[in-house]
Amino acid sequence: MTQPTQPTPQDSDLPLDMIIFGGVGDLAMRKLLPALYMAYLHGNLPSATRILSTGRQDYDRQAYLDHVETNSRGFIAEANFNAKTWDGFLQLLEYVKLDVQAAPAFDALAQASRDGAQRVFYLSTAPSLFTTICEKLAAAGLVDARARVVLEKPLGQDLASAVEINEAVGAHFAESQIYRIDHYLGKETVQNLMVLRFGNSILEPLWRAPNISSVQITVAEEVGVGSRAGFYDGTGAMRDMVQNHLLQLLCIVAMEPPTSLAPDAVRDEKLKVLHSLRRMGLADIARDTVRGQYKHGASGNQEVPGYLEEKNVPAGSKTETFVALRAYVDTWRWSKVPFYLRTGKRMTRQSSKIVIEFANPPFPLFPGSQEGVANRLVIELQPEEAIKLQIMAKQPGSGMEMQQVALNLDLQSAFQQRRAEAYERLLIDVVRGRLTHFMRRDELEAAWAWADPIIEGWKTLDEKPHGYAAGSWGPAESFALLARDGFSWVE
């Protein structure tokens, strides 16, 4: 059993009021409360912290704590669970019943929140509620200069709606108070990619065309749409995954070295990447993008329905559950280097990875079994985090045959420290006022400005998504997309 760490004073040890809208919801139960528990366990919350969860349901405090016990505790790994610390953590929790639409004012919340506390508002609700929440928070006098607001994705359905949300939130919070969360940016390996690139001198000279021949970014989910069809069918994989997670990963791979780790220094460089993404016209969309939708198949050993057979999916829906595309970053560094992005539901297994493929040697000196296998840097993000460099080595024996072997950057053994989950790390960043790993408004809008024409183009082309069997790696067209350039997906 993990022993509790005594909370230690933080950089800023103001009392913290963490106010969660959607505090009964799935995200709060599965991610936010377990992450806050872990932060508490390791002494990373200010000593006078309170967590005020809001929701419409008629809980008294004990009923809410029971709900947390039943629905959240199971998401804390057994090795991290400490009964005494858990009880201490539950003491931090309050429940405030609040229907943000119906309530004329947030009086109950204003009464519950302490004067002088550092307030963090975590908006873990549908974004359609963000405007009302921010307006009523401000009207209740809860938004002071110290307050911070965390916005969950999806931030809009397109550029226009993202601008609308940003305007509404920006009317009450300065940009420096707004934390747009993309939990991929909280992953240790993604942050490590920046260290790998900019903390070492050996990679940087190679990190460009023509030394790099292609980049692949895959975020594959094994799960289907589950109970989220109501939300998902109006969204699809492009809006749900590509516009945010995959583009953020692309930015970290493609950005120029920032002048410092200051939030705006890093975000300025990411923004330049987003502005350099080549806009796609109809012909590019038809040639360089693949939409897919899963059909009946198998997940593990279980038979699973196709997307159209899932509960609450409208008959004949053309929503994509899979996207693969070829993108270009039009800069000197990345001239003519294809960036292949791929994401899908009901794929063979959960797997998120970035693969940097280096050019082949200019002359094939070692004919043999593995000729032409490129060096690759593989950054695995999920389910396990790992960094491997695949290089060629001589097969033992009398000949000069080559074989690919992996140089494994074994971070687990190199560092004995615990590796915090992305949400925990990002929540601590919010509490400490560190904005570097959060999206700035212009980044979000630039990402939509690139994605919107593709989504519009699909509407104009009006093609049905390609079917793929649940449990596969996606439609055949996705393999063809790379094969015609002489590449293949690295599974």
Q: For ligand NAP, which residue of 8, 101, 369, 370 counts as binding (CB under 6 A)?
A: 101
Q: Quick one: which segment of 22-30, 72-80, 275-283, 414-422 binds ligand NAP (CB under 6 A)?
A: 22-30
Does position 224 interact with ligand NAP (CB under 6 A)? The reply is: no
Q: How far out from the chain centre does Cα 179 lie?
A: 14
Q: Is 296 annotated for ligand binding?
A: no
Nearer of residues 185 and 337 to ligand NAP, judged by Cβ? 185
List the beta bridge partners of residue 452: none
84 assigned ligand-binding residue: no
Task: Establish if 24 lies at the interface with ligand NAP (CB under 6 A).
Answer: yes
CA distance 41 to 209: 46
Task: Walk across the sheet containing 466-469 and list its strands.
Answer: 402-409, 386-394, 376-382, 351-358, 212-220, 338-344, 322-328, 289-295, 466-469
Please tell me whether residue 74 binds ligand NAP under the rule CB under 6 A.
no
Q: 72, 82, 125, 216: which one contacts ligand NAP (CB under 6 A)? A: 125
CA–CA gap between residue 61 and residue 13 (Å, rounded): 26
**The one segment of 21-29, 247-255, 382-390, 404-412 that binds ligand NAP by CB under 6 A:** 21-29
* Residue 25 lies near ligand NAP (rule: CB under 6 A): yes
Can 245 be counted among the known catalytic residues? yes
| Residue among 27, 168, 308, 405 that touches ligand NAP (CB under 6 A) | 27
Beta carbon of residue 63, minimum distance to ligand NAP (angstroms, whole number): 12
Q: Which of 245, 275, 296, 466 is catalytic?
A: 245
**Residues 132 to 191 in contact with ligand NAP, rule: CB under 6 A:** 152-154
Question: Candidates 92-100, 206-214, 330-338, 463-471 — which segment interacts with ligand NAP by CB under 6 A?
Answer: 92-100
Nearer to ligand NAP, 124 or 478 (CB): 124
Nearer to ligand NAP among residue 108 and residue 476 (C-beta): 108
Measured between alpha carbons, how far is 464 from 477 in angstroms, rounded to an integer?
Answer: 13
Q: What residue ranges bind ligand NAP (CB under 6 A)?
A: 22, 24-28, 55-57, 98-101, 124-127, 129, 152-154
State the binding site for NADP(+): 56, 99-100, 153
Q: Which residues are catalytic?
A: 245
